[in-house]
Amino acid sequence: MRAYERFVSYVKIHTASSADTNTTPSTYRQFDLSRRLAKEMRAIGMEDVYEDEYAYVYGVVPASPGMEGKPCVGFIAHIDTVPEFSGANVKPQFVENYDGGDVALGSSGRVLSAEKFPHLRSLQGHTLITTDGTTVLGADDKAGVAEILAACERLIAEEIPHGRVAVCFTPDEEVGHGAALLDIDRLGADFAFTVDGGELWELNYETFNAAAAHWDITGLSVHPGSAKDTMINASLVAMEINSMLPAGEIPARTEGYEGFFHLTNMDGAVEKAELDYIIRDHSAALYEARVGSMVHIEKLINAKYGPGTAKLSIHEQYRNMAEKLKNSMGIVELAKRAIQNAGLEPRLIPIRGGTDGAQLTYRGLLCPNIGTGGYCCHGPYEHISVENMDLAVEIILNIVGELCRR
């Protein structure tokens, strides 16, 4: 079965995660896909297939005869979709022999515009898979899931020589949890790759250092007619806090290796206000400085308005995996050769975000990222092509093949 055939069946299964629960998986519906994947893995001949109580699914393609001594490579993808935009009732739309122009997304009124998304011209002649404009597509990361399984099926069915290949599909990547409970010993890989997002020529081993920051602001509400020198308006204090951060260091004004503060939510009245931020930087030193800036602002606000006015809590989410991978670049070179052997010129791109691989790398399993060939994730303009998915499968097989030649 080709990767796209698996993919279009997976995207119809609603698996959006949630940041508002304290369970793993964060939404029970993720089991709907994890259970199906376990069944399919057994059906294609994978061994040691195991689905745990947290919706992680593991499986192995045993080594070919004579290849038992080769390194074991892992491939990892996540089953959840982003919670911020609907992943329910996904209706994939096919555009055969795409002409490189605009594509109407169903009857939604939204248009996949070649002017807004110039990369579309490179997909001319492909068969596009898009949304109908009302949901995400789910290529992030059900495309990775489908591509990994399509590659495993070919290894087994076509008896392609290979070392041991270990696979894990994870829940809750979109809410920052994905790899937290992955059993590295059960996976049994010497190193691994996440297959998640991005161009096919894109290879990622650098991520942000990342933290989440939450502010609780307590005001003092009195009658506005007698408020002079007494009232503390929590909403205005929240605005003041935000104004103390550099206005140009936000996602909309940064790129490449430039970090940012991103205000993700604000809620307020006179008595109470809340702010939520994510803090990001590739540089460990600049990341620490950004966290320090937040802590300093808390000190200044409480000195101005009184102790306890502002309470800041910071939760570290992940670290830049380049700090660990820079001493093991042979894994990156392996992937570069696999991409080149697929007829593409690999490019090392820093991820302006994080992957399951960032957590896993810091837990001891080195894990850079390769692309799925998908575009415009996390919204209604998400799309991928049948041909890109086939090429992603080829890159996965090339990685396995490269290890056989070691």
| Residues belonging to the active site | 80, 173
Write the CA distances from 373 to 42, 225, 383, integer angstroms. 26, 61, 9
Asked if residues 145 and 77 have their Cβ atoms less than 8 Å apart, the reply is yes
What gap in Å lies between CA 347 and CA 206, rounded to an integer?
12
Q: What is the gyration radius of the CA atoms in the chain, in angstroms? A: 23
Report residue 167: phi and psi, to 5°.
-130, 140
Judge residue 238's burial from the number of C-beta atoms within 10 Å of its C-beta, 0-12 exposed, 13-18 middle, 19 or more buried. Answer: buried
Cβ neighbours of residue 258 under 8 Å, at least 6 residues apart? Answer: 249
Where does residue 238 fall: left (phi above 0), alpha (psi -120 to 50 degrees), or beta otherwise? alpha
User: Is 402 in a helix, a strand, or coil?
Assistant: helix
Among 309, 274, 312, 321, smallest CA distance to 291 is for: 312
Q: Which residues pair with 111 in a beta bridge?
A: 104
